[in-house]
Amino acid sequence: MATVEEARRAAAIIRDAGGRVVGRTRLQKMAFILEAAGLGSGFPFKYKHYGPYSEELSNASRTAAILGLLNETELPASWGGLFSTFEVNMPPDPNIPESRRRIAQETVSSDAIALELAATALFLFLARLTPSDPWSETKRRKPEKAANGRLDQARVLYERIRQIQTPIPLPPLG
């Protein structure tokens, strides 16, 4: 179980995204990009099936639900599994940098697969798993998701996010 402070930090990510985030994977990718930009909540990330993943963030969101800091609703997905919707009812924090809010809101409204691919390419680059061409490595690791123009959508999304001024500038990925 996460600490109350970690739970509050998880809920704050959702608050800064406008109060509602659909999908656990989306929450993970949003939080990772915020971390990479120097606007995160201090959760560490490792590579897992869907790209960057933080077990600590996952635990913190569960704790936040237990504490009533957020509501998580699980619904059946079209593919047979479940997906989660996270909602918070917290007032905006006037001390949050506008760039954090902009990245959170840009990623919450983006295509989930494009976001996953963009976050994966960024993770691979930053972890130096493939510093020369993270997009090709992302495509190699996720060929079905990268098909049908989605890798190009991910590149466009990443460049849009990268244009936001952040404490740690997001690197060009080629």
Per-residue model confidence as pLDDT tens digits over 54-66: 999 999 999 999 9
Helix residue ranges per DSSP H, the chain:
4-16, 24-36, 55-66, 98-108, 112-126, 134-141, 143-146, 150-162
Return the structure tokens found at 97: 């940098």
The model scores a pTM over 0.85: yes
Is the model's pLDDT at 131 over the cut of 70? Answer: no
**For the residues 41-45, what does the mean pLDDT come to?**
96
Per the prediction, the chain carries an average pLDDT of: 95
Helix axes 150-162, 134-141, angle to 10 degrees: 140
Is the model's pLDDT at 72 over the cut of 70? Answer: yes
- pLDDT single digits (tens) 77-110: 887 888 899 999 899 999 999 999 999 999 999 9
Please state the length of the chain: 174
DSSP 8-state code for residue 77: -
